[in-house]
Amino acid sequence: MKCCISPIQKARLAYAPKLPSALRSGANVVCKEGKKMKPFADEKKIKERFPNTSNMPLLQFSAGSGATLKKPVNVGVILSGGQAPGGHNVIAGLFDGLKSLHSKSKLYGFKGGPSGLVDNKFVEITAGFLADFRNTGGFDMIGSGRTKLETPEQFDKAEINCKALGITALVIIGGDDSNTNACLLAEYYKAKNAGILVVGCPKTIDGDLKNEFIETSFGFDTATKVYSELIGNIERDANSAKKYWHFIKLMGRSASHIALECGLRTQANITLISEEVEAKKQNLDEIVTIIADSVARRAANGENFGVALIPEGLIEFIPDFKVLIAELNDLLAKDADAYAALPSNEKKAEFILGKLSKKSAAVFASLPMEIKMQLTMDRDPHGNVQVSRIETEKLLVELVKNKLADWKKAGKFGGKFSTQTHFFGYEGRCSMPSNFDADYCYSLGFNAAAIIRTGKTGYMSSVRNLTAPAEKWIAGAIPLTAMMNMERRHGEDKPVIRKALVELDGAPFRKLSSKRAKWAVETSYVYPGPIQFFGPSEVADITTITLALEKGK
């Protein structure tokens, strides 16, 4: 036991996560095969790339006899990508599931993410070692990383390392890219009869890894509750001080699920949704006008304060910005050295302007120098702009301020506009998991042990019916290839697990849309408060508004 822990940490270590009834007798389950699952799209190309792991059946589990196996099972586990609350409980569930199969089964954690598998950096996860991490946040048990597993050389090194430890299965805990790599690994090992199964688990706080059989990715519940508590605190402060508009950027590069959930939970005055901006082809001025209109109308009611929620990836969904960013990506890939050698920001901006199309140059020229420089910062490993480092919230503040100044000159605005800006990101990634995420993650891990018991490879752990009590959750597995399509990346068609964006005809967005006009003008704030770990189920075990609406609750 760690020497210094808080009372709440001590209580969380003692929490016993709930399991679906199918898993309560152990991981030696009865497996029923369902319909064969075609790829999400690009069926022919996916089948060509994954001949051994395509067109596999959906799996559903029911309780087994509780019998143990004659031989122990050795398994490796990897945490991949960014942190998400509940990762430790996936490992705890996997450990307990393996021990239910045979008391001498072993679990090895590869340290630092996928690179640990290739570089043979590992730790054996024992009951004593695991005890300090149950129901805790973070990935610090074994660490994580963003190394991609995609080359035969990596796969072969991993195979050698696994066989040295007697490992016959790997569990990869990650998002869409990590599970795409898990599928590549599963296909490679199955094609050569390596004797190593590969199972994925759905992780991302962004909420964009979901479908009919993966109702939510783990960590989304906890992260959105953490952010909503903070937003609620700010709303209450705004309603108390009555002098600031707070512009809050929230995580979510490719999808706006976090902003949508937090908007529904807190009833902020403005909640921007990137997918809507793209669908309606809204330009930057239209977005600014929407916010400025709310500011002006609230000011007319004597309320010179408010809260606006902004998705992290918004800027990439604005049509004219999308074109600008694509041009910048190409330009900086070709002329990175020449650009870096320029002596000042002014010279750099001038260099960029001279190489952009006329339309993109006009957009770039309209931006504050600070945003210009953020748009041209070093790219990520995929060659894309690092949107988390672009202060979109500050850009919008500046442009709304300018528009309101113009309106004031024209006699259309007589209020005040003072602002505060925030970015909530890391605050939510390593929080103690909510009861829902603690239970869900533990079930996903235990369920992964059940998948391994069936001898199946190339599957993702699936636990669904999540708005029901945990004993009624449905345990099973979905083929990784069933979630795949082809995307153009670095000039090549590559198989990837499709990201689930906010559906504008879905119940959660329709709910937000129906309330926007009211919330934009009225002070309708809800103060969710902190995550509750104890108390009645409707308080302590409640899941997201998004999931409830999607399930018709």
CB atoms under 10 Å from CB of 374, counted, come to 20
272, 331 Cβ separation under 8 angstroms: no
395: nearest Cα among 315, 277, 294, 283: 315
Reported as type and span, the H/E element at residue 123 is strand 122-125
321: nearest Cα among 291, 290, 352, 277: 277
Q: State the burial class of residue 538 (Cβ atoms within 10 Å of its Cβ: 0-12, 13-18, 19+).
A: exposed
In whole angstroms, what is the distance from residue 213 CA to residue 547 CA? 13
- Give me the pLDDT at residue 2, please: 55
Q: Residues spanned by CATH 3.40.50.450 within the chain?
A: 52-64+73-219+430-489
437 noted as active-site residue:
no
- Give me the pLDDT at residue 490, please: 63
Q: pTM higher than 0.75 for the full model?
A: yes
- Give me the pLDDT at residue 1, please: 46
Question: What is the DSSP-derived secondary structure letter of residue 203?
Answer: B
Q: Which of 177, 206, 208, 541 is catalytic?
A: 206
For 553, half-sphere exposure in the C-beta direction (CA atoms, 13 angstrom radius) is 14
Q: Residues spanned by CATH 1.10.10.480 within the chain?
A: 313-390
Beta-bridge mates of residue 153: none
Per run of 10 residues, the mean pLDDT along the chain (length 553 residues) is 80 96 98 96 95 97 95 98 97 98 98 97 98 96 94 97 98 96 97 98 96 96 98 98 97 94 98 97 95 98 98 92 88 86 93 92 90 81 68 94 96 95 95 98 98 98 97 98 87 88 97 98 97 93 96 90
Q: Given this structure, which CATH class describes domain 52-64+73-219+430-489?
A: alpha beta
166: nearest Cα among 109, 78, 107, 123: 107
2, 138 Cβ separation under 8 angstroms: no
The CATH architecture of the domain made up of 313-390 is: Orthogonal Bundle (1.10)
In whole angstroms, what is the distance from residue 308 CA to residue 246 CA? 6
Q: Could you tell me if residue 522 is left (phi over 0), alpha (psi between -120 and 50 degrees) or otherwise beta?
A: beta
Distances (CA, A) of 262 to 84, 441, 507: 17, 22, 15
